[in-house]
Each structure stands twice: as C-alpha cells, then as structure tokens.
Amino acid sequence: MHNQTFMRTYSPRQEALARKAAQQRDNQSFENLASSDLLTQYRIKSEPYYRMVADEIELYEAAYSVRMPIMLKGPTGCGKTRFVEYMAWKLNKPLITVACNEDMTASDLIGRYLLDASGTRWQDGPLAVAARYGAICYLDEVVEARQDTIVAIHTLTDARRMLPLEKKGEVIEAHPDFQLVISYNPGYQSLMKDLKQSTKQRFGALDFDYPEHDIEAEIVAHESGINLDIAKKLVHIAERARNLKGHGLDEGLSTRMLIYAGSLIYKGVQPLAACRVALVRPITDDPDMRDALDSAVTTYF
Amino acid sequence: MHNQTFMRTYSPRQEALARKAAQQRDNQSFENLASSDLLTQYRIKSEPYYRMVADEIELYEAAYSVRMPIMLKGPTGCGKTRFVEYMAWKLNKPLITVACNEDMTASDLIGRYLLDASGTRWQDGPLAVAARYGAICYLDEVVEARQDTIVAIHTLTDARRMLPLEKKGEVIEAHPDFQLVISYNPGYQSLMKDLKQSTKQRFGALDFDYPEHDIEAEIVAHESGINLDIAKKLVHIAERARNLKGHGLDEGLSTRMLIYAGSLIYKGVQPLAACRVALVRPITDDPDMRDALDSAVTTYF
Amino acid sequence: MHNQTFMRTYSPRQEALARKAAQQRDNQSFENLASSDLLTQYRIKSEPYYRMVADEIELYEAAYSVRMPIMLKGPTGCGKTRFVEYMAWKLNKPLITVACNEDMTASDLIGRYLLDASGTRWQDGPLAVAARYGAICYLDEVVEARQDTIVAIHTLTDARRMLPLEKKGEVIEAHPDFQLVISYNPGYQSLMKDLKQSTKQRFGALDFDYPEHDIEAEIVAHESGINLDIAKKLVHIAERARNLKGHGLDEGLSTRMLIYAGSLIYKGVQPLAACRVALVRPITDDPDMRDALDSAVTTYF
Amino acid sequence: MHNQTFMRTYSPRQEALARKAAQQRDNQSFENLASSDLLTQYRIKSEPYYRMVADEIELYEAAYSVRMPIMLKGPTGCGKTRFVEYMAWKLNKPLITVACNEDMTASDLIGRYLLDASGTRWQDGPLAVAARYGAICYLDEVVEARQDTIVAIHTLTDARRMLPLEKKGEVIEAHPDFQLVISYNPGYQSLMKDLKQSTKQRFGALDFDYPEHDIEAEIVAHESGINLDIAKKLVHIAERARNLKGHGLDEGLSTRMLIYAGSLIYKGVQPLAACRVALVRPITDDPDMRDALDSAVTTYF
Amino acid sequence: MHNQTFMRTYSPRQEALARKAAQQRDNQSFENLASSDLLTQYRIKSEPYYRMVADEIELYEAAYSVRMPIMLKGPTGCGKTRFVEYMAWKLNKPLITVACNEDMTASDLIGRYLLDASGTRWQDGPLAVAARYGAICYLDEVVEARQDTIVAIHTLTDARRMLPLEKKGEVIEAHPDFQLVISYNPGYQSLMKDLKQSTKQRFGALDFDYPEHDIEAEIVAHESGINLDIAKKLVHIAERARNLKGHGLDEGLSTRMLIYAGSLIYKGVQPLAACRVALVRPITDDPDMRDALDSAVTTYF
Amino acid sequence: MHNQTFMRTYSPRQEALARKAAQQRDNQSFENLASSDLLTQYRIKSEPYYRMVADEIELYEAAYSVRMPIMLKGPTGCGKTRFVEYMAWKLNKPLITVACNEDMTASDLIGRYLLDASGTRWQDGPLAVAARYGAICYLDEVVEARQDTIVAIHTLTDARRMLPLEKKGEVIEAHPDFQLVISYNPGYQSLMKDLKQSTKQRFGALDFDYPEHDIEAEIVAHESGINLDIAKKLVHIAERARNLKGHGLDEGLSTRMLIYAGSLIYKGVQPLAACRVALVRPITDDPDMRDALDSAVTTYF
C-alpha cells in the first residue's frame, strides 16, 4: 500500500512534512531573507513563564510534529494564550495571534488589495503570512468570528494544507512549519455561536482549566511578586467564587484576576481593597453576590 | 428530429461538446499560451490516494462526458474533496476549489474591477477563470453561500453554459472542458439554509458516506502510517461513536479524525491520549458523551 | 378624440412605436455602428430548439408588437428560458439575460460609474444597454431580487418607457425595439417574497407547465439523443414523481432532469444508475421518498 | 400685522414667491444658460392625454401657486403619474421623477461626490437639481423609501424651502418654481411602512381612484385604439374584478391593464386570449380566482 | 471655594465663557476672515415671524448665556423650528440645522476625508463647523438618529465642550458662541427609539404645544394672508381634530396645516375644498375619521 | 522562582514596567520629538476640580503603578469622566477619550489606511496612538460598542500589552506609560448589551455613585457659582427624585443636572423656572412624574 508513486504527495503526513522542510531549508536563502524581517516581530524573545499542569506540552509537540491543527478549550484567564506562547518559544516558531471578532471578514485573515502610488498592491493577511512563511497562527476566541468566515481556514486544516487567495488568483501551499491553533471557551457556546462540526473535526483538542490549588498559588506568587502565603489565600477566595458559578456568577474568578489582586497587594494596597477592586467589583453588580464574595475575602484577610 | 440546422447549436450535448473541444484544440495555440500559467497552479500534480467505494468513478466519468453539473452529498470528512481531486487528476483537468461562505458575493465568484496604475482592470473570479479556460470548478460547502448568490451559477448549469459578466458587459461561453461540481452535507440542511429546487434540479447527485469497515481501515492505515490492526481498532471506535449520532452527538467521527488519531499514534503518542486529543475532545463538551466515548476507546486500547 | 396633436406622443402605443422604429431606421447609421459590437454577443446565432405547446408564440408576438412587458410563469426547468431565447431568435432581436438575486442592486441593473485612468466613466448596466440600443431584457427569477429594486423597472413598463439614470443625470428613452420580460415560479411565492401588485399589473402573463406526455418525450429524445421509447419511459417516471409534489416532494421532476438522465443513458450508463444520479438523488434526501422514486424507476427499466 | 419689515421674508408665502420669481426672471440670463440643457430633458414635450375626473386640476393649480407640497393618493395604475405629467406640461415646468425604493439613500436624492480626473466633483441628485433650477420633483411610491431618508425632504416642505447639502457644506434655497409631489398607495400602508405624521402634515393631499365607467372606457379606447364598445366591455370586466378586492384579490384590475388588453385586441388577438394574458394571469395564481375572472370575461366576449 | 487656580479652567461656566469670548474677540481678525464666508449662509437674514407664547424666549436666553444645551419638546408643526430660527436671529448667531435620520452616521455630523486632486482632504461636518466657528447647531428630530450615533455629541454637552475628530487626530475645543439644540416629539417615543437618560440629562428642556386659540389664529392669519375670522374658523376645526387624537387619529392637526389651508383660501380656493386638500386628506385614510373631520369643516364653512 | 532569565520579560509586572520606562527615558529624545506635538493636545492643561469621595484616588494610583486596566462603574453624570481627567492631570499623562458607539469599528480604534497624494498612508487610531506614545486611553460608555469590537482591546489588557495592527502587519508593544480605562453604567446592562466575562476579568473596577449630601452641594456650588444654601436645596430635590428611580423614573437626577439648574439660577432665572427647565422637563414626559417632581421643587423654593 505504501506505493512509491503515492509517496510523493500522499505518503504519511509526517514524512512528507519532514521531506518538505528539508527541501525548504536548502533553498530558503533568498525567500527567508525577504520574510525574515516580517516574522522577527512575531518571535517570542525569551522563555515565557509557563507551569506545566499535565501532559499538554508533550501532546502539543506530537500534534505539531504532524502539523495537526489544535483547539485549546477552557475558561477565560486560565492560561491558554500563555501556553501557546510557551509552545511557540519552545518549538522556536514565530507566533501570529489574531483576536477574532464578529466583524472580522475573510479578507482580514487572508489579505486584500491596498491602493498604492502605483495602483493596487496585495497585502497578505495574518493567516496568509503565517501560511506562506511558516508561523504558528493562533486564532483567539475563534467562536466570536462568523461561522462562515471560519470556513476560510478549511483548506489549511485538511490534507491539502493550502490557502487559495481567490482575489489574487494565487494558491499558497502552506510552509511546512505552519500550524493553526484556535482557542475557545465552551461556556460561551450557544445555539447562535458554536463551531460547526465540519470545523471541529479538523482539530485535535486540548482541555484547559484553572490549575489545582498549589500550582495556581505558585503561578500567582511568581507573576505578582507576592509571597506564597498570600497567594494561597487568594486561591482560596477564587475557589469559593468558582463554586458560585452557575449560582449567580456567570464565570468563576480567573487566575489572571488573582495575579491582578496580588500585584496591587505587592504595591502596598490593603488586601481588602485590592480584592474589592481586582476580584469582586469587576465580576458582578449584584449586591448579594458582592456580599457573598466580600465575606469570602474577609475570611482570609 | 435530428435536423441538421439545429445540430449546429442544439444537437445532443455530448456531440456538440466533442465538436467544440476539437475546434478548440485547433486554435488553442495562442489562447492557451496566455492561460497556461494561470491554470498550472490548479493542476493536481500527482495521483491523489483515493479508494474507490462503488461505481462513483464510472458515473462521474459519464457525467463529465456530457458535462453534467455534479453535486457530491455526504457528511463532513468522508472523502468528497479527495474524490473530486482524484477525478480532476484522472481526467487531467485543472481543479479550482472555492470554499463557500455566507459573505461570499457574486463578485467573489465572477470577478470584479481592480484599481490599477492606469485605472480599473477587470479580474476574473474563480468561476470565470474556470469557465473561460476550461477547469473543473468545485464549490465546497455550497449551502453556506447565500441562496441567491448561487443563482449566479444557473446560466452555467443549463444548456446555455454561459456566464454573463454583467459589470464588464461580456458574456463568457463556457470552455468545452468546463464542469461545475458542488458539495454539501445534507445533515446541515435547515429551513434557513437549503438549496432551492431550481438549483438542485440543475445537478446530478452522487451520495457519499463513511466507507465500510475494511476499506476505511485500509485508508486510515495508508494515510497515517500505522498498521492495519491499529487502524481497525480506530474504525471500531468510530463505528460506536457513529451510533451515537442523534443521541447526543451532532455528527459521527469522520475518517479524517481517525487519520489524525493514527498520525499521533504513529508519532509515539499513547493510543489513549491520541484518541482523547483527536477523537473525543474535539467532538463534544458534554461530560456524559465524553465518558461514553472514552470507554469505547478503552475497550479497544 | 384621436386629436392629431396628441398623436405625436400619446397616440395608440403600436402606431407610435411603428413610427418611432421607422425614424430610428433612418438615422441609425451612426448610433448602430457604435452599438453593433455591443449587441452582437447578445444575438441568438441559430434557431434554438423549441417545441410549441399551445398559442404561446402567437400571443408573445402580439405582445411584442405593442411592446407589452411579459411575465413568464411556471415551475423550474419547464422551458421558460428556452422559450424567450426562441422568441428573440424568431423576432431577430438581441436578448440580454439577467439572473436576479437578492444582492442585486439597482446599480447592477442600471449602471454605475467606474474609475478610469482619466477619472470616472459611466457604464450602462444590462437594463440600460437593452433600453438604449433595443434588446429584449430578460430578468430571470425576478422574485429573487429585492421587491424595491424591482421598482427601478417601473418607468420602463408603463407609457413612459423611459429609464432615468439618476446618478448620471440622464434619462434614456427606450429604443422602440426594447421589451422587458421577467420569469417567476409561483411555487416560490411567499409572504416575504412576492411581486407587488403595482409590479404585476405592468406585465402581461403567459403560463408555462411541463409539456404533455408525447411532446415532453419528443423534447427529451431530441435534446439527449436517446430514442423515443426510452424518452417515454423517463416521462412516465417524471409523471409519477410529479404526483408526489406536495406529498413529500417540494417540486416535481423537470424536463431538464429527464434530459440529463437521457444524456447519461445515451453515453452508455445503465438506466437505473442514470436515473439514480440524475433524477432521484438530486431531488430528495428523504429515505422514504427515495424508495418511492427508485421503485418508480424500476417499474420502467 | 402685515408689518413691512416682516414682509421681506415672512410675508404670506404667495407674495414672497411671486416677488422672488420676478427677481429671478431679471437675473436669470446667466444661470439659466447653464441649467437649460440639464432641464430640457425633463420637460414634457407635448400635451399628455389626461381626462379630468373632478376638480383635481384646479386644486393642483392653487396648490402650485402657493408651492404647497402635494401628495397623490390612490391605487396602482389609476393615473397618478399621468396626472402629474399633465400638470407639469400645463404649468410648463420641468418634471423630475424619482422611483423610490428601500435602497435609496439620502445621497441618491441629494447628491454625492464623484471621483474625477482632478479629484472629487460634486453631483447634485435629482432633488437638488429640482430645488436648484426650479423643477417639479415627483417622488413615486414614496412609502417604499426608508421613513428616515424621507426626513431629508422636510426642510424643503416647510416655510424654509431650503435643502442643506451637508456633505458639500452648501445650503440650496429652493428656486421659486420648485414644488415637491409624492405619490403613495394607501392600500400598501402597513405598520412597517407608512409615512410619519410629521411627513404627512407637510403635504396637501389629492385622492385618486379608478375613473367612473364612461370616463374609463373613453380612456381605454383612446389609449389602446379599440372602439368604445369593446372598451366598455373591458371596463365591465374590471368592475367585476374590483368587487373581488379583499375577497381573494389583493388589488383590483387597473385602468392600465385594460389598456394593455385593448392593445392586444387592437393588434388582432382574440378578446378571450387578450384578457387571459393581460388581465387574469398577471393578477392571480389562485385557480378559483382565475375561474371567477375567466367567467367574467366570457360574460362579455 | 473660588480658588483662583481652579478659575483658569474650572471656574463657573459663565465666567469662563465670557472670558473666552473676550479673548476670541481680540484675536479673531484672522480666523473669522477664513470662516466668515462659510458661516454667512447660516445666518438668518431678517427677523423671522415668531409669536411668543410664554417665557420661552427669556429662558432660552438664560440657557444660552451659560451655553446649556437645549432640548425642544413638542408635537410636529407647532413652531419648534421657527422658534430656534427666531432665537438665532435675536442672539445674532449663525444657525446650522441638521435633519436627523436613521442612516446618519457619526461622520455625517463630524466630518470625513474627501478625495482631492492632491490626495485626501478633511471636511468638517455640520457639528464640527458649528463647534469650530461658533454657531448654534440644531439637530432636528434627533430621536430619528441612531441612539449610539448620538453619543458623539456627549463631549460637547458637558463641561469639556470639546469634539474629538478621531479620524483626523484633532480635538476641537468648542468656540465660546457654540450651543447645541435638539428637538424631539415625545409622541414618537417608543421602546425602540428614545433618547438614553445619559443623553437627556445633558440638556435643559423647553416644552412646546399648539398655541392657544387667539394666538394660533393670529399666526395663521399672518402667515397665510387670510383675515382673522377665517383663521379662527380654521383653528376651531383644528381644535376639534385634536380632540380625536388617540381616538382614531395618531396626531392632531398642526398649525402648519392650518396655514396651508389658509393659503389655498387666500388664493381663491373654496374653503371646503381647501380644508379637504390641506387638512383632512393628508391626515387619515380611514372613511369614518374623514367623515368626522369633513363634518367639522362644514360646521364652520 | 524569581529566575533571572524569566525576569527579562515575565518578572513581576511593576518591576518590568519600571525598567522599561527607564530605558524609554534614555532613548526617547528622537521619538518623543515626533510624538510630542501629537500628544500635547491630549494633556490636561490645569488641575480639574475634583472632590475626593473615598479612597478612589489612592486605589487608582496603585492600579496605574502596575498598569492594571481600570473600569469605572456608575450612573450617568456622577463624575466618572471628571475623575479620569483629574487622575490624568495628577499623574501628568496625556488622556485620549473615545466616546464609544455601536457603529464604531475596530478600525476606528486601531487605525486605517488613508489615501494620500502618494498612495495610502497609515493613520493610527486613538487606541494605537495611546499605546504607541504612552497615554491613558479612556473608552467612555464602552458597553455601547459592539461586544466583539471590544475584543480588539484584549491583547492590550493582559500580560502581552501589545496591539497587533493586522492591516499594517505591525505589532505595537505598548509604551510603559500606557493604561486603558473604560466606563460603564451598570443600569444599562441588558441581555443584549453587556460586557463579556472575558472582558470584565481583564479590568480592576472602581464604583462611583452620586456623592453624599454635603459633598454634592459643595460641588454644585463650586461649579455653578451659586451659594451653598441654594446648592443644598437642589441636592435635596435630587435626593427626592432619586428615590423615584425604578418607581416611574428610569434614572435619578445627576449632579450634572443640578449644576445646570444652579447655573441658570446664578444667571438670574427664577429657581422654579430653572428647575423646570434643567431638572424636571428633561427627565420625564409623564404628567404624574412631572407633578411629583414639580412639587418636590416647590417644597424647597
């Protein structure tokens, strides 16, 4: 079945990608010269702080080795964006992040013609840049984009790995380093806004959640500068608040919010005031919920 | 009834097309020179791997011989796109693929004026390129496009085989090699989004589904690089999941997902983790469904 | 009452039109030179095959002689488009066809300014070309267009027979050869999409339906190349299917579909497979309806 | 109370208008030279046939003498457009007709900047042309326009009689000959589409309806060329159909439709066929209503 | 509390404004030269006829002296627009009127870039012109504008009195003469269209209504030219009609309509016909309401 | 855990910011030259009057020291905008205010290409200017903007503190002085318009409300120029009205309205008339509520 003729294009994905990457390395002298400036700004300059939770790093590396598109699932502020930054740094690939929104058109992703002194000039969009020169393209909160704009990524997420620039009449074959990553928060799924099955099935998925107690405290302490004791108190408060999710709170307190509170405390703000500003007031306007959260704060500080 | 006068334009389709193709061959020297570069990038360079399931290849060849527009029906990830790539390769015709979406205007298909250094310049859209120079034009997920934009293809799908470029004031008579192919997933049909009867009736239809057990295993093994035993286990898991369609799952596991899982296993990822990432997590967020699918996985690995 | 002064513009329509056409013939040397190239591509080069069903040809000729706007009513694929092509050929007038859709703006019909090397340049839309130079303008599936865009044709369909190009500040008086024809399928009428009475009342109407048995078989045989016996079998199948309209089928099988099936058979495809591809699969995804239609096919083949 | 100081601008409207018109006549030599070409095409060249029904001509003349904006109310095809053409001819004023539709923006009425070889150039819309140079501006089917676009005409319909071109930074003071006329069909009024009271109150209103029997027959005979006997039969049929309005018909048969039927008969078409094409088929697809109307036809022919 | 340091910018509004106006007078020689042409067309050339009803003139003058934004409330045609014209004349300030509508964008108010021979050129919108050079800006029927477009006026209606031109990167500090006036008709308020509280609270409000009997008759007589007796009869009719508001009429007869009727009578039209055209027909299509109004007319004429 | 390598980019936020600001100071000579003009107009020239209510100034300073994004919550007219102006003055940072509205696109915030004499030129939007050169960016009434446009600020509100200009292919790393502040009124929250949790969690929050009696009177007296006795009476009236919130009034009387009323009184308007114009009429059209409010006024004046 491993017919040599087939092998030229339809051999197992990873072998083909390896071969292609090798070729690319040989004749990249010129093209990479042109693109090196462009991609430099998308490189992660130093190791981002990331605290491994389970086997997510290993699984991502395997997925990247076969260039499987990846979907990061989890609540807001639990570390999805930091994880993809860390992986881009670890794999030494440029990372192009796109914050998706409902007004984003396919042209915003793919590219458009701009008017120049000498007529129109084509400008690649972030997805086309990533596909052409070999970056990881991270579509943040992809469920915000119109479902049908998302269809534009389909040709990049199956065996074809190509991106037709219909307006330009060009077809980009994805660079062997290119990978597509998307994030989304299952809590926001609704009848109106969910990914279609034909999109979901094009991605492997990694689940994320708030880290467990000790790891989260370690992260909060590291990021805010406060000591581990105070960090643990903040995590205790967060855990109480997360139990209220669905019972008056739409979403629990995120790790990011704890870091905000810790930062204020580190700057000398009283813990009660810091928690009021950074944890309680942003998350709810309901007087009862505020009381419940405030009393959780006073339990620990 | 086969009146010779009529024969000049309204003789049976296939004879007229044959005659036209012959004429075209004679005076193609100049025009094809101009278009050869354009179409080169749309040619399938080597034989795509395609595992015949029934008589679909033979039927497609007959349909192409009378240039009947064809509709490929079937669930996501079952091989429709690969099939049309294979047929384009087999018939040695260029293939222009358009991923349809709700924001696609008729201009995106047909063409538009671009601003140039010397004023406006007309640029054919993918449908116009295909019709003008003789490619197979494949509109993927056509049901995503606005129903009324789809009306733009009507003149190309009846005996007229022409495409009026209203903005340019030109009428393209379709090249004798031109054929239109569309795909759509009947599972997505809804009151809001379905093809109109006046569109459906312009197409012959070929049904696709997930291949039967042994064929699917053969495909998964070939595409991912894993051995047939593991491939069969993956197919067993898929078959269990497909039985859950309509009972908690919107869609079954596709062949494409099995290839993803196989690829991870081939790279050394543990089968349980590979199935979690590539099969279970992408398809559902419901805890009960995840348990059901996870236990199906552990049955085989 | 036939006051001579009035006669100059408001005399009976047909006399005025005849007089105008005569004048036009006298001083057409220059203008037609300019427009002859433009309209050439809209002429029907040879007699289209059309099988008269009743008195529709005679009625159309009378309507054209007074330039009454005409509405062709009937289901999809029953020959409306072919009829208007035949009449254009018979009357030796150019035919400009516009496939209407919901995104079509009045500018798409009437014209717009394009940017040129030397600033903006006006370009007539298809309706303006037809009105200015004297073609039959055929708006196919007019009910698809926005009701209010259709208002743009009102000034051309009453005694004024003029088209104001508001953006250009010009008023086109319709060429005496100009006529407007629209088609629509009453089955699609809905509360949302129907022509307004003030539009309907501007048109004479001709009803179309699938031809009767023998005529339809003759058409199918002629167009596909198969013999009359097979053609009759196909018509029998169609008649069965048409009885299911409203009982599970949205629309019956059209003559066009029978021609498709005949063409496949003519190319050597087995009748059962040809009917499956060309008649049954396109029209329904419902398993019961498919069984019903398949058994109708096996009755005859 | 007729304080001389006030008189300069706020004296009774008609006196001010008369004085202004006189001034205009004195210094019109230059400006009218520039505008004469523009308005020539909007002049009604010869007397339109119009059959007075009541005191509508006299009332319109009085309204015009104080430049009161006028609203013509009545069903489709009863002669509103012909009446305003006749009045424009009688008052010897140019007539600029705008067919309103839902996509019409304020810019379509007022004007816009166009791109020229030397940058942008302002182009007056039809309302601005009429206001600037003194034409009657007729907004046909005004209820089709967006209610809020209609607000653009408010400054022209009260004592200010001015039109601010906000984009150009210019204020047009209406030419003393300028008058605004709108038409609308009360039968179409709905909750969604009706004129606002603040618009309605800016217009005097004239009611129109189908003319009475003898007058309508006279009109049909004159316009189609048929004799009065046949015309009367057609009017009898129309009267029967009008009784069905609200009992299965949305709208009655209009005078315009009778003229169409008469024209076909004049050209030699059998009365039964002429009525079928011009009266019955356009107005309804309901089989019962068609039978009712057909039997009304056979009663007279 | 009247701290001298604060006084420089945050001293009581009126003192700051007076000081600013004085400074402006000193160095206005150049700037006003540039803007004088622009604003000339917005000056009210002679005293508009306005009949004071209560203390509205005095209150407006006080509001203007502290540049308080003002909201004029009242039904259509009761004199709001005339009042603001009168006040602009009395205060000797230019008046820029904007008829608001739903399609009006913030750019229509604030300004936009236009394409010029030498690239883009900024053009102030009416609000920016008024703020920059010191006019009264009157937004007529402000409730028609999108609520959120109205947010664009907020920075001009609080202590900041500035208008950021975000697209130009400039901040206009309002000229000390600038004032904002809006009108709206409380009868049109609905759930969909009402001003937000955060907008309402930025305005002082003056209520308007139809004037009382004798004053209204005086106005009608003055404006139309008829004598006071006839004017009083018209006012009686209006009062009867206004009692029907909410009992079959959406809105009462406005003073403006009475002036229209008076004008027709002044031109020699019979009072009954004049009232029919100018009062009854425009306001309702309901036969019963028309009878009620017609009989009110015949009571007095 | 305070690994020196990490410290380069992921050390505690405040240390990194301090270091960055120091670097910036060293090489700012050139860049600030270019941007100094641009930002000058956004500087608050003299100390705005702001009356501290609680610990809000101290908390804001701490938040700014870690550049925590801040959300100001509270009803309209209670001093949120004045507070942020005061803090910008106190911290000596330029303040760029953006009044959000539903039509605001991401381009309005971020920037766009403009057409210039020599082709297109990029122009930063207010958010990009603030991020690039180091201003406080204040998004007023942020809940008015489309939820999904707000996603554009996400990358500036987490650890990344960067703004990708996707259309320009540039990534702005936020200037160390940059901070984002938003305001919103919880009373307006609705199902349709509320901030998403993933946005809320990116901000610390400060609550605002109408100041307590004596402070509010002090503010009203200072701002309007009236004496403290009258100011206290106005505050009493406001307090009565605020009790009606939710019992017929949508919103209470704001401090801003009291200042308006005070200003009129200071100019010599009778207190009753001043309160009618500035307090009662703007806030309600309901006769009963007006009576209730009027009687509250007469209690004190």
At residue C259, the 3 state secondary structure works out as: helix
| pLDDT score recorded for residue D192 | 52
Eight-state DSSP code of residue C189: -
Model confidence at D245, pLDDT cuts 50, 70, 90, reads confident
Question: pLDDT tens digits, chain B, 301 residues: what are they?
Answer: 333 333 333 445 556 666 666 565 554 443 444 455 678 888 988 899 998 888 899 999 999 999 999 999 988 888 899 999 999 999 999 999 888 877 677 788 888 877 665 566 788 989 999 999 999 999 988 887 776 678 788 889 988 898 988 777 788 999 999 999 999 887 655 545 678 778 888 999 999 999 999 999 999 999 999 999 999 999 999 999 999 887 778 788 999 999 999 999 999 999 999 999 999 998 888 888 899 999 999 999 9
The tally of CA atoms less than 13 A away on the side-chain side of residue F102 is 12
D205 in Cβ contact with D183 (< 8 Å):
no
Residue D100 makes CB contacts below 8 A (sequence gap 6+) with: C151, D139, D140, D141, D142, D143, D144, D145
Q: How many CB pairs under 8 A join A and F?
A: 157
Q: Which residues pair with A204 in a beta bridge?
A: A70
* F85 to chain E: closest CA residue: E160
Instruction: Measure CB to CB from residue B48 to each of A10, A115, A120 and give the nearest one.
Output: A10
By DSSP bridging, strand B162-165 and strand B170-173 are: antiparallel
Q: What is the architecture of the domain spanning D40-207?
A: 3-Layer(aba) Sandwich (3.40)
Question: According to the per-residue pLDDT averaged within each range, which of A68-77, C231-240, F18-27 is highest?
Answer: C231-240
- pTM of the model as a whole: 0.75
- Touching D: C residues 158-187, CB under 8 Å: 158-160, 164, 166-167, 169-171, 186
At residue D184, the 3 state secondary structure works out as: strand
| pLDDT score recorded for residue B100 | 82
DSSP secondary structure of B251-271: S---HHHHHHHHHHHHTT--H
- Three-class HEC string of B45-104: CCCCCCCCCCCHHHHHHHHHHCCCCEEEECCCCCCHHHHHHHHHHHHCCCEEEEECCCCC
Q: Please write the tens of the pLDDT for every residue from E269-292.
A: 999 999 999 999 988 888 888 999
Q: Given a cut of 90, is residue C131 above it in pLDDT?
A: yes
Instruction: Say whether C47 and B6 touch across the interface (CB within 8 A).
Output: yes
Least confident of C139-153, D104-118, F3-17: F3-17
Neighbours of chain C (3+ CB pairs under 8 A): B, D
The mean pLDDT value for D220-229 works out to 94
The mean pLDDT value for E101-106 works out to 73
A198 in Cβ contact with B141 (< 8 Å):
yes
Structure tokens at F183: 């305001």
Instruction: Say whether A108 and F169 touch across the interface (CB within 8 A).
Output: no
Q: Given a cut of 70, is residue F189 above it in pLDDT?
A: no
Q: Given a cut of 70, is residue A247 above it in pLDDT?
A: yes
| pLDDT score recorded for residue F232 | 96
| pLDDT score recorded for residue F36 | 57
Nearest to D99 by CA among E40, F287, B104, C109: C109
Contact exists between B and D (3 or more beta carbon pairs < 8 Å): no
| pLDDT score recorded for residue A60 | 95
* C152 to chain D: closest CA residue: D99
Q: State how far the alpha carbon of D264 is from the alpha carbons of B226, C88, C177, D269, in Å.
A: 78, 19, 17, 6
Q: What are phi and psi of B207, to 5 degrees?
A: -85, 140
B184 in Cβ contact with B69 (< 8 Å):
no
Higher per-residue confidence, D221 vs F75: D221
The mean pLDDT value for F55-81 works out to 91
Q: ipTM, 2 decimals?
A: 0.79
Distance CA D259, CA D239 (A): 14
Model confidence at C285, pLDDT cuts 50, 70, 90, reads confident
Instruction: Say whether E201 and F283 touch across the interface (CB within 8 A).
Output: yes
The CA angle B6-B10-B13, to the nearest 5 degrees, is 140
Instruction: Say whether E115 and D115 touch across the interface (CB within 8 A).
Output: yes
Instruction: Say whether B46 and A8 touch across the interface (CB within 8 A).
Output: yes
Nearest to B142 by CA among B55, B211, B50, B80: B80
- The C-alpha of A121 sits at a distance from chain B's nearest C-alpha, in angstroms, of 9
Q: Burial of E11 by CB count in 10 Å (0-12 exposed, 13-18 middle, 19+ buried)? A: buried
Average pLDDT across chain D, whole number: 83
Q: Burial of D271 by CB count in 10 Å (0-12 exposed, 13-18 middle, 19+ buried)? A: buried
* F158 to chain A: closest CA residue: A256
- How far, in whole angstroms, is CA A212 from its chain's centroid? 21
Structure tokens at A247: 């019972």
- The C-alpha of E66 sits at a distance from chain D's nearest C-alpha, in angstroms, of 28
The mean pLDDT value for D177-195 works out to 76
Distance CA A283, CA A252 (A): 8
Model confidence at D69, pLDDT cuts 50, 70, 90, reads very high
Return the axis-axis angle of helices B287-300 and B228-243, rounded to nearest 10°. 150
Q: What are phi and psi of A204, to 5 degrees?
A: -75, 160
Higher per-residue confidence, C100 vs F81: F81
Residue A64 makes CB contacts below 8 A (sequence gap 6+) with: A70, A87, A91, A179
The mean pLDDT value for C228-240 works out to 95
Instruction: Say whether B166 and C141 touch across the interface (CB within 8 A).
Output: no
Q: Please write the tens of the pLDDT for every residue from F251-291.
A: 889 999 999 999 999 999 999 999 999 999 988 888 888 99
Residue with tokens 């018209």: E234
Distance CA F48, CA B281 (A): 56
**Residues of F with Cβ-Cβ distance to A35 under 8 angstroms:** none
Model confidence at C192, pLDDT cuts 50, 70, 90, reads low
- The C-alpha of B278 sits at a distance from chain A's nearest C-alpha, in angstroms, of 4
Higher per-residue confidence, E8 vs D46: D46
- Touching C: B residues 195-214, CB under 8 Å: 196-198, 200-207
